[in-house]
Chains A and B, each alone.
Chain A
Amino acid sequence: MKALYRYIKEIIQAFTSLIGGLMLTLKFFLTPWKSIITEQYPENRKTTINIPERFAGELTLPHDENNEHKCTACTLCEHACPNGSIEIFQKTIETEDGKKKKNLDRWVYHLDMCTFCGQCVDACPSDAISMKNNFELSVFDRSTLIRQLNRPGSKLKENNKPIKTMLAS
């Protein structure tokens, strides 16, 4: 008798739990405007798309309004890069008081080799480079992925104390 009771109880329990699950999916089916969470990507790129500010996308070398950047061409980022996607070309310029000084000539970024690991940004002592949240990086011509990041005619920003020395002092 006890076995029969357990048998019937099991059937009723199975049915109630199955109906619970079925009702949940029926709710999703009947109220699609509430439940559907799919992002329709190419259509929503101007409207609802939400890429967080800290998303590590394309690498940039920010310039200010005077066309000045912070890169001292120390090549620490070039050494930090695990797959050699950064190449820094230095040039020696002579300052007004006759001193010779190394300065940035070309900051070449190989986007086709970059894995967006962000180690260059961590390695930079003067906060010269940062990663933007731009992720639509595909192009038709591979050669356009090799980019020079410093703008033509840009200079090193004067009085730019490296942040790590500031912390040490």
Chain B
Amino acid sequence: MISMIQYSDITSLIHQTLSASLSPVATQITEIILSALLAFIVMIVCVIIMVYMERKVAGFMQMRLGPNRVGPFGTFQVFADVLKLLLKESFTPNSADKFMFNLAPCIVLMVTLMALAPISWGPGLVMWDSNIGILFITAITSLSVIGILMAGWSSNNKYSLLGAMRSGAQIVSYELSAGLAIVTAVILSGTISSVGMVESQADGWWILKGHIPAMIAFLTYVISSTAECNRAPFDLAEAESELTAGYHTEYSGMKFGIFYLNEYINMGVVSIVASTLFLGGWMPLHLPFNNEYIQLFNHLMDFIPSWIWLFGKMFMIIFFMMWFRWTLPRLRIDQLLKLEWKYLLPINICNLILATAISIFGWHL
């Protein structure tokens, strides 16, 4: 990597200054809190950009202008909406299970934020350098269905319960093909550590090196993660026209705001995971050839900072998800399950076998 200051220099500087004045345990705790806070702030900034982007993309794709009244080009619309949500009453229905009702948004948000822990943000910049990072992410993201079911059940409302049940069926089934797509990338790279995954793509991204299986896996991962995020065309859990708002029908004010925030953070997490697995995370675009000019190109790509690569890829995948949302109509529940069990899963299994063959015979570049 070519850059003046390395991320590891900054982290070691912080570590030295903290350990000079604090005991080792206090240093550890402070560092954990600082890194968690930093990751949270980064995700919040991304969410602000995403919400604005979503509305503008939606507007342009539907031949509208999108928000353009609050601030220049409507940039302050997000802040106005958040202010409105903060000022509204966080109402709890009388017949709801109050403890569970208030716990559900916290669980949903907590689960999504936990998935940020093993993500490799840059060279030497990782909160929890675990050797099972990818496995941890897949395990944690499937927990969010508990929060959604909890919200639906405790609302004591038939629409909420129906939405939550649908969401459960959907997340549980799409978890399979998302998992198989992840396994394809794991087979190709031979590691389930997120740092190792990124480093295995130093001479080229898996989508370029892994031929057709990597492309199919990337496509199925994007489709099934869109479904896991409960986004249109798979937004059966919300289904405004049938279930008013699905599992968050009874939520208002900032409790609804947390669900909304969670949806976008989840999108961010899924996009970062997709870019880590197939597009090389923070790794610049390197082509796997030994040509002189291609080496020069690879060297030039190193001059672009790694955070631009990571967030560029992340927002590209987010743009794909928004593009799907504002183009395709919502699926029916039977069509949704048919798509998963009759199409995505068989394709993924065949793809997995193909990827295994490629990996065993060393055909990838």
A89 at the interface (CB under 8 A from B): no
A38 contacts across to B, CB distance below 8 A: 63-65
B61 contacts across to A, CB distance below 8 A: 25, 28-29
A28 CB contact (under 8 Å) in B60, B68, B328: B60
A25 B327 Cβ-Cβ under 8 A: yes
Interface band, chain B? 10 to 19
B43-70 to A contact mask, C-beta < 8 Å, 1/0: 0000000000000010011111100100
Given known contacts A18-B328, A21-B328, A36 and B60 CB-to-CB distance under 8 angstroms = yes
* A:64-91 near B, CB below 8 Å: none
A22 B65 Cβ-Cβ under 8 A: no
B323 contacts across to A, CB distance below 8 A: 22, 25-26, 29
A168 contacts across to B, CB distance below 8 A: none
A32 at the interface (CB under 8 A from B): yes
B327 contacts across to A, CB distance below 8 A: 21-22, 24-25
B343 A32 Cβ-Cβ under 8 A: no
**How would you classify the secondary structure of chain A's contact residues: helix, strand, loop or mixed?**
helix
Tell me the smallest distance from the CB of A39 to a CB of chain B, in Å.
Answer: 10
B63 contacts across to A, CB distance below 8 A: 28, 35-38
A29 B57 Cβ-Cβ under 8 A: yes
A1-35 to B contact mask, C-beta < 8 Å, 1/0: 00000000001000000100110111011001001
A11 and chain B: residue at smallest CB distance: B343
A40–B327 alpha-carbon span in the complex (Å): 24
A29 contacts across to B, CB distance below 8 A: 57, 60-61, 323
B64 contacts across to A, CB distance below 8 A: 36, 38
Which residues of A does B touch, CB under 8 Å? 11, 18, 21-22, 24-26, 28-29, 32, 35-38, 40
Which residues of B does A touch, CB under 8 Å? 57, 60-65, 68, 323-324, 326-328, 343, 347
Interface contacts beyond A28-B62, A37-B63: sample of 10 additional A-B pairs, CB < 8 Å, sorted by A: A18-B328, A21-B327, A21-B328, A25-B323, A25-B326, A28-B61, A32-B60, A35-B60, A36-B60, A36-B65
